[in-house]
């Protein structure tokens, strides 16, 4: 299985528009972060987790020519706003499967009503194949995917475990029984927004505590803001098996 980090930034990305924060002015490519998303590939299959406002560029940058579906963690715009840009995939492939909690699917229907329209539909709009997911394992082609439920402040969100790889973002609290689902993963990705506490995201110390509970072989932090600091400086402070993810990073599990 190969995972490509399409984006590793917070909801505004890095650099933030108009910001003169030193990290936003950095020349290091690892300090330039699009909105969070990952590409997960195994055998001949390709799936994306979340499609935010940078989705089109992320697909071009990673040279993705086909996707077998999109999994949504939750409905916030930095995770969903790029849904219209599935059109080239739809024109080449047909209906695109999307996987989401019923609440999230309903919100997508509201925001992208022209995609979900069934009567008098505009001919240039894409079609999706809606797959409602609950907090129980489901099949993606030849593997089983297990949702990991947590809370983004008070909002329910899903992370996903693909065999030995698990991807969680926008988490603030994760119940113990959900953490149990992560035991045995080799690679864990989890959000680490900044050093200071935040109402709806793990900060750095909370993310490190979470890694210590799960005990993966390797962990990568994502959904990073400029306030966490420069990539190279922060990574020097982390345990030897914990890393800051960055855009375009590819890992093999």
pLDDT tens-digit series, residues 33-89: 999 999 999 999 999 999 999 999 999 999 999 999 999 999 999 999 999 999 999
Mean pLDDT value across the chain: 98
pTM of the full predicted structure? 0.97
Neighbours of 251 (CB within 10 A): 17
Sign, Cα dihedral of 138, 140, 142, 143: negative
- Measured CA to CA, the distance from residue 62 to residue 231 in angstroms comes to 21
pLDDT in tens, 185-202: 999 999 999 999 999 999
Q: What is the dihedral of CA 20, 25, 78, 138, to 10 degrees?
A: -150
CATH architecture of 2-248: 4-Layer Sandwich (3.60)
Q: Is the preceding peptide bond at 15 cis, omega within 30 degrees of 0?
A: yes
Question: Which of 215, 151, 160, 155 lies closest to 185, judged by CA?
Answer: 215
- The conformation of residue 128, written as its DSSP 8-state character, comes to E
């Amino acid at each position: 299985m190969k995972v490509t980090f399409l984006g590793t930034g917070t909801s505004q990305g890095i650099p933030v528009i108009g910001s003169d924060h030193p990290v936003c002015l950095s020349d290091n490519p690892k300090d330039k972060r699009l909105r969070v998303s990952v590409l997960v590939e195994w055998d001949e299959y390709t799936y994306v987790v979340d499609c935010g406002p940078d989705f089109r560029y992320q697909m071009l940058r990673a040279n993705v020519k086909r996707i077998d579906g999109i999994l949504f963690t939750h409905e916030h715009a930095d995770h969903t706003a790029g849904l219209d840009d599935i059109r080239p995939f739809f024109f080449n492939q047909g209906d695109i499967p999307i996987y989401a909690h019923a609440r999230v699917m309903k919100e997508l229907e509201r925001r992208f009503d022209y995609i979900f329209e069934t009567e008098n539909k505009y001919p240039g709009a894409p079609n999706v194949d809606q797959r409602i997911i609950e907090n129980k394992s489901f099949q993606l082609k030849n593997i089983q995917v297990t949702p990991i439920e947590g809370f983004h402040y008070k909002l329910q969100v899903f992370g996903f475990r693909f065999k030995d790889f698990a991807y969680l973002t926008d988490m603030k609290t994760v119940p113990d029984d959900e953490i149990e689902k992560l035991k045995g993963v080799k690679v864990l990705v989890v959000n680490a927004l900044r050093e200071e506490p935040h109402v709806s995201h793990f900060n750095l110390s909370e993310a490190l505590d979470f890694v210590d509970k799960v005990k993966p072989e390797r962990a990568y932090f994502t959904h990073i803001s400029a306030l966490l600091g420069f990539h190279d400086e922060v990574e020097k402070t982390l345990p030897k098996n914990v890393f800051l993810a960055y855009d375009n990073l590819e890992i093999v599990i």
